[in-house]
Structure formats: structure tokens, C-alpha cells
Amino acid sequence: MKEKAKKIRFLSILILLAAVIVLLVFVITKSKKPVTLAEEEPTKKLILGFSQIGSESAWRTRNTQSIFDAAAENDIQIIIHDAQQKQENQLKAIRSFIVYQVDVIAFVPIVEDGWENVLTEAKEAGIPVIVVDRQINADPSLYAGFLGENGVEEGRRAARFLQNKCRDKTDTVTIFEISGTENSSIVKDRARGFREIIDTDPKFKIIHTENGDFLRSRGKEICDVLLASNVRENGNTTNTLYYDGQKIDVVFSNNDSMTLGFLDSLESHKVTAKGTIFISIDAEQESIDALKSGKLNCVVECNPNLGPTLMELVKQIAEGKPIPFMTFNEETVFTENDDFSLYEPRGY
Ligand code: AHR
């Protein structure tokens, strides 16, 4: 009888001990961090609808890749649409993002005007919009902010190089300008910045501006036409460039693709154009190589790597935080006077 009572007491102590351990484990795990229902559910990925204008240049290809890579790194689902250089395609894409109810819309506006209606629709649908790379002419209340380059400053940088390069010249300095997509903010801004500086000295004279659509093929075509009228009677092409009978001292091109196309044409016609000053914008590896080999004199950087900052802005918006209205990417200038050994590979 005594033995039986002992056994029962021993078993009761064991059960009590087990109960205390279970209770302790429960209290410890509970006190670490309260588990809410929301946390148990898989977190919903942010969805970004991005309308790109196309792939007219190596710069643009790098720009798209940077945005695509950064979205993956930040676990943001991205829907990229290629507008093939048409605003109407961009408007359709943005409207489809609204129907799809993406969290944020970003787009590179091919031209400056014509966005108010679609931006109003996005605003009414409660979808914030970030304007990327180029700027727009629209009521600022219709979009969250802009991320991209400072086109006016890029134009100024090109002009400052020229100003310095020609500081000892007293004769007229004639400039042949190759611009890009008509009515795009970037072309207007670069032209404004460039003129702001050169207009301070009457010796600088823009003798012609031609639209090369930011395309390498157009840069080549433009030079081909120039050279066709520069053929001497003996059949050789002159090494000096002329436009409408006027000697060209400077070729200022709004992007590397057009500049490289221009150089392609010079090469195929075996024209060195040694006395001409060449200034380009973008800083693709190929144009940096041309700078190193003396074919170009100055390359103003336009930084295409907008992806990481764009994703930061998207995340801030999604968290309900305000974003700066204007975010400019950092940029520099590469010139013939640099120590080329310090250059890092461009990556595009
Ligand atoms: O908007 C940026 C410009 O567009 C770049 O200079 C050019 O290469 C691109 O096509």
C-alpha cells in the first residue's frame, strides 16, 4: 500500500514538472516577439510598372538593364514596357498599368508635353508616378517626383570645355550641333545650358543644328551628307569639314551614338578631321575609347544607372513617405586633358 502511494506521488510530481516545462516554453516563445496574423502571411511584393522609350542607344540599353537589375535586387516585381519611340505607346502602357493597379508607375517621357490626362487618371486611381530620365511639362501635383540627369548642367559642361579650349582664339568659332529627339526635355535643356555659356562670348557661332534622333545611323548619315559636299575636284574628300561653304570648327553632338556614327562615316571616307573639336554626351565605353585615341576631345557624362535610386524612391512611396521632387544623378566630365589611367571601365 505504502509502495503504491509512493508511485502515485512520484507520477504526480513528474506530470507537474512536465506541465511547468510546457508553460515555460510557451511563455518564453510568446515573450520574444508577438506573432501577428499579417506576419504569418507571405509578404506581398511591390509592383512597379515601367514604360521605357525604346533602345535607341547603348546608353538606353544600360538604363533599362540598371532598372531591371535593381528591381530584382530589391525584390520588386517590375513590368517593363518598350514604347518603341512612340508617345502613344507610352500612354497605352501607362493606362494598362492603371488597369492592372500596380503600386507605382515610372516612365521615361519621350517628349515633354502631352502627359496631363494620363497623369490625372493615375492620380484618380491613387497610383503615384515617378518621371525618369527626361522631364515633363505638367502640373507638378500630378506626379510624385523626377529622377534623372541635369540636362542644363550637361550642356553647360560641354560649353565650359569649349570655352576653355578656345580661350586664346580671337576668330569666330563655328559650331555644328547634332541634337536628339525633337521636343524632348533633354535636348531643350542641353541646348539651353550650352547656349547660356557660349552666348557670353560673341566669337562662338552655332552655324547649324541637325536632329539625329539619338541614333548612330543618323549620326553617320549626317556626316555622309556633309562629306558629299566636301569632295574636291580630284575626287578626294577634304580633311576639313564644311557646312554650306563654312568651315566647321566644332561638332557638338547630343549623344555618343550619333557621335560614333559620325566617326564611322569619317573613317569610311578616310577623313581625319584633325582640326575639328569633337564634344559628345553620355560617356559610353566606346566614346571613352575614342577620347583616349584622340578622336574626341570631350565627353560629358550622362549617367544611365538610375535603377538603385529609383527602387529606393519606389519603396519610400510604398511606405507612405514623401520623396524629393527632384533627384539628380551624379555626373562628371571626361576630357583630353585627363589622366586616362585613372578611368574605370564604364560598364556600358
Ligand atoms: O535621355 C537621355 C538621352 O537619351 C541620352 O543622352 C541618349 O543616349 C539617350 O538616347
| 214 CA distance to ligand 1 middle (Å) | 7
Mean pLDDT to the nearest integer, 79-94: 98
Worst-scoring range by mean pLDDT, 27-36, 176-185, 263-272, 296-305?
27-36
Taking the CA of residue 256 as reference, the ligand 1 atom at the shortest distance is 8
Which amino acid, residue 181?
Answer: T
Residue 12 has pLDDT above 70, yes or no: no
Round the average pLDDT of the chain to a whole number and report it. Answer: 90
Which cell goes with 258? 550619333
Taking the CA of residue 184 as reference, the ligand 1 atom at the shortest distance is 1
Probe ligand 1: pick from 51, 59, 300, max atoms within 8 Å of CB? Answer: 59
Mean pLDDT to the nearest integer, 11-20: 53
Q: What is the pLDDT of residue 34?
A: 39
Q: What is the pLDDT of residue 239?
A: 85
CA distance to 20, 276, 278, per residue, from 294 (Å):
83, 11, 10
Contact 83, 77 (CB under 8 A): no
d(CA 109, CA 26): 57
Mean pLDDT to the nearest integer, 246-261: 97
Looking at per-residue pLDDT, the higher value among 268 and 12 belongs to 268
User: Which residues in the chain belong to E strands, given as ranges?
Assistant: 47-52, 77-82, 104-107, 129-133, 145-148, 173-179, 204-211, 242-243, 246-247, 250-253, 277-282, 298-301, 326-328, 333-335
Q: What is the pLDDT of residue 231?
A: 66
| 273 CA distance to ligand 1 middle (Å) | 25
Burial of 92 (0-12, 13-18, 19+ CB in 10 A): middle
| 259 CA distance to ligand 1 middle (Å) | 12
| 69 CA distance to ligand 1 middle (Å) | 19
d(CA 206, CA 195): 9
Probe ligand 1: pick from 284, 302, 303, 331, max atoms within 8 Å of CB? Answer: 302
- Number of alpha carbons in the 13 Å side-chain half-sphere of residue 346: 23
Residue 126 has pLDDT above 80, yes or no: yes
Probe ligand 1: pick from 135, 183, 186, max atoms within 8 Å of CB? Answer: 186
Residue 162 has pLDDT above 80, yes or no: yes
d(CA 155, CA 166): 17
Which residues' Cβ are closer than 6 Å to ligand 1?
A: 56-57, 59-60, 133-134, 186, 214, 255, 257, 281-282, 302
Q: What is the pLDDT of residue 229?
A: 82
Residue 137 has pLDDT above 70, yes or no: yes
Q: Bridge-partner residues for 105, per DSSP?
A: 49, 129
Residue 269 has pLDDT above 80, yes or no: yes
